[in-house]
Amino acid sequence: MAGVASGTPYVTQWSVGARKEVEPGTDAWLLRQGGSYGLIGHATVLTQPYEDVHFADPRRTAGFVDVAFDELVVEGDRVPRDVLEVVVPEVAWRFQFRSGNRIAPAANLRVRELWREAMSALG
């Protein structure tokens, strides 16, 4: 992921489960869910959902999109979950599905603002 630090987006596949309504241009937030909980990355969805081999069971398929990570931070620079819960309380930060949770537009704007502030503070 060193390329992201130098300004090169990291493109990868992202599981969306059975979701069909994910649109290109949608924000994708990487949430650390163990140990030091919090946001550690931002990506933009590049594709419509498509089927591919399931990440845990090669006999099944699952829905995916391609995303481009433009920012990733180390654990110590994350936006902590307790801050997310105060700034964007309507998102279930403690209950995430493998395919992710949908964030309403107004709430997503607040997540974006919080992320921008955090990234600006890092320099």
The residues, ordered by sequence, that sit 6+ positions from 7 with a Cβ below 8 Å of its Cβ are none
Report how far residue 112's alpha carbon sits from residue 114's, in angstroms, rounded to the nearest whole number: 5
Two tokens, residue 27: 């924000």
pLDDT, residue 31, reads: 92
pLDDT, residue 73, reads: 94
pLDDT, residue 26, reads: 96
Closest Cα to residue 25, out of 66, 86, 62? 66
Cross-strand pairs, 31:
39
pLDDT, residue 101, reads: 82
pTM above 0.95, yes or no: no
For range 58-73, the mean pLDDT: 94
DSSP string of 47-58, one letter each residue: S--EEEE-SS-T
Residue 37, pLDDT above cutoff 90: yes
Residue 12, pLDDT above cutoff 60: yes
